[in-house]
Structure 1
Amino acid sequence: MPQRCQWAGEDPLMVAYHDEEWGVPLRDDRRLFELLILEGAQAGLSWRTILHKRENYRRLFDGFDPVKIARYRDAKVKKLLADAGIVRNRLKVAATIQNAKSLLELQKSGTSFSEFLWQFVDDQPIHNHWKSLSDLPAKTDVSDAMSKELKVRGFKFVGSTICYAFMQAAGMVNDHETSCYRHRQITAEDRG
């Protein structure tokens, strides 16, 4: 059995997420948008909770289509807040709608969401060398800068800690523990 990061635990969904998604460089605008929304939804909760609700989010939020989400009105918000399949937090739902609008404005300016986000790491993943989960920072200067710029552009629920978790998940930083088999694989794929 391969050695994994401590946080993956034994939950099959968490293990699959760790092995197949977390830390893999992601450059698709819609998938990055989904991930940013889910990381914001996680605030104050565990990633395991959000991961187990992810399919509900995808269904209820129209596959994270920002054009559709930007058009949501009060009736849709009430329907979302009544569904236990997601985190029923009015501020987080409102942030999702605002973030869709902000994403569309960014794209209208001629910049893809991917280009905008990856500029913070000079378009290359940062490969860290943490030995244990306790070594990982909650935020960095880079996540501070990303958070600040996202807020300037109207995004919500994008504090520095959320941005750093997003960067880890989207593969902008490789924060797999050095003893984890995925650390070596992701580093090799990036340099390969």
Structure 2
Amino acid sequence: MSDLIVGPDGLARPVWAATDPLLRDYYDTEWGMPVRDERGVFERLSLEAFQSGLSWRTILAKRPAFREAFAGFEPDAVAAFGDDDVARLLADARIVRNRAKILATIANARATVALREDEAVDGGLAELVWSYRPTATPTPHTLAEIPTRSPQSEALARRLKHLGFRFIGPTTLFALMQAIGIIDTHLLGSHRRGSSGVWG
């Protein structure tokens, strides 16, 4: 059985993005497209951390509420969150109410802000994350051929942890790299393969 399904529109998509309208739209318009701004990378890093142990479909459906609850994922705003904000977030049934993940998001916002002034880092969060782009991207024919981590995601996890980031492991960061276009793991034959412009 192929891991690609050709839809009524004639476009080939992986099975996970073939039928659910929310996932299909995300796959067609967002997933794997370059995100190079600080707020955008911080938002996706935060959502990937919240996704840990859950389905991406769950997080995607809650994304509007996450954006509202976390001040549009503006790092300066989230970095200023205090105990009242934590209590507010834990009481918000529209998001994932996990104290460790909420506290990690606030800590990561503070680490993101601190990165701007870190002389050992060339640029901010987005520049740092993109500096771990590999020299080649996977070329999977099947979903089973897509790795879940890489030497680059492992190295980036170590670097970010050293810089004060939390709840970010090699698997979470590999998912981030896929989501923001650092690597292209679209299946060969998918209509989205190569669409990011990052990889030929």
TM over 0.5: yes
Structure 2 residue identity aligned to 1:39: E
| Percent identical | 41
Structure 2 residue identity aligned to 1:112: G
- What is the Cα deviation at residue 113 of structure 1? 1.4
Say which of 71, 74, 77 aligns to 1:65.
74
Verify the 8 A CA contact 2:111 2:163 in the aligned structure 1: yes
Change (3 A) 1:191 1:135: closer
Say which of 7, 16, 24 aligns to 2:33.
24
Runs of 4+ in 1 over 3 A off after TM superposition: none
Question: Which residue of structure 2 aligns with residue 190 of structure 1?
Answer: 198
- What is the Cα deviation at residue 85 of structure 1? 1.0
How many residues align structurally?
A: 188
Say which of 124, 144, 160 aligns to 1:150.
160
Verify the 8 A CA contact 1:138 1:164 in the aligned structure 2: yes
How far apart, CA to CA, are the structure 1 residues paired with 2:28 and 2:53?
A: 24
- Please report the TM-score for the alignment, with normalisation by the length of structure 1: 0.93
Verify the 8 A CA contact 2:184 2:199 in the aligned structure 1: no
1:29-40 matched pairs, under 5 angstroms: 29-40=38-49
1:28-177 matched pairs, under 5 angstroms: 28-109=37-118, 111-121=123-133, 126-177=136-187
Cα deviation, 1:168-191, whole Å, max 9, x if unaligned, reads 0010000000021100433xx336
Verify the 8 A CA contact 2:33 2:195 in the aligned structure 1: no
More helix by share: 1
Verify the 8 A CA contact 2:184 2:194 in the aligned structure 1: no
For the aligned residue pairs, the C-alpha RMSD in angstroms reads 1.4
- Please report the TM-score for the alignment, with normalisation by the length of structure 2: 0.89
Which 5+ residue runs of structure 2 have no aligned equivalent? 1-9
